[in-house]
Amino acid sequence: MPKIVDHDVRREEIAQALWRVVRRDGVRAASVRTVAAEAGWSPGAVRYYFPDQEGLLSFAMDLVARRVGDRISAVEVEGSAMTIALRYLEEALPLDAERQAEFDVWLAFMAQAQAESGAGGLHGHVDAVHDGLRQLCESLLQSLSEAGGLREGLDLRREAELLHALIDGLALHSAIQPGRTTPARIRQLLRHHLETLLA
């Protein structure tokens, strides 16, 4: 009988090995060879799924996007529009070890995408994650507005851009100085910012 390979399971195994390499040694250490070694596979077996490093790195970036997206889809929360908005935004912020690792990966990809000249390659993946978070900010502010919670005359597009920049800035600061920009402090600052928008 031929051996039956579940390709989804194998891709998931590669994903896990890749995640471990990136967290431990940084994103540039992730190659077909190092990920194969980590997974206990031959390089050829990994190459069957990801022919080159760029394919592998894009896959890792997609992994981060999928994790964040899955968590946001799974949010179940009741309460004021403010409570709900904060709860969603928290899923995109590095408030625990797992989410800090995701942000580190995102940052490493971003820096690597910046270092590559021209568009394409990793840029498309960075753009997609970036656009997704901005849209989340827009739709949360829209919900707050429809719930009648926001001040009159706010330019929601502008406020979404500011909120998005603030979130990424806080995430960056928590990566730089985790002892100062703690999860508790991020929550306080974010709540204070949203409160300035309230009616």
Residue 197 and residue 160: Cα distance in Å, rounded? 11
Q: Report residue 24 as tokens.
A: 């431990």
Residue 152 binds a copy of itself, judged by CB under 8 A:
no
In the block, residue with structure tokens 């002892």: 179
The interface with a copy of itself within residues 57-116 (CB under 8 A) comprises 104, 107-108, 110-112, 114-115
In the block, residue with structure tokens 């051996």: 3
Q: What is the CA radius of gyration of the chain?
A: 19
Minimum gap (Å) between residue 52 Cβ and a copy of itself: 18
Task: Using the rule CB under 8 A, give the single segment among 9-17, 20-28, 53-61, 90-98 that binds a copy of itself.
Answer: 20-28
Residue 195 and residue 128: Cα distance in Å, rounded? 29
- Residue in 45, 65, 84, 166 binding a copy of itself, rule: CB under 8 A: 166
| Residue 84 or 166 with smaller CB distance to a copy of itself | 166
Q: Report residue 15 as tokens.
A: 């994903």
- Residue in 169, 182, 198, 199 binding a copy of itself, rule: CB under 8 A: 169
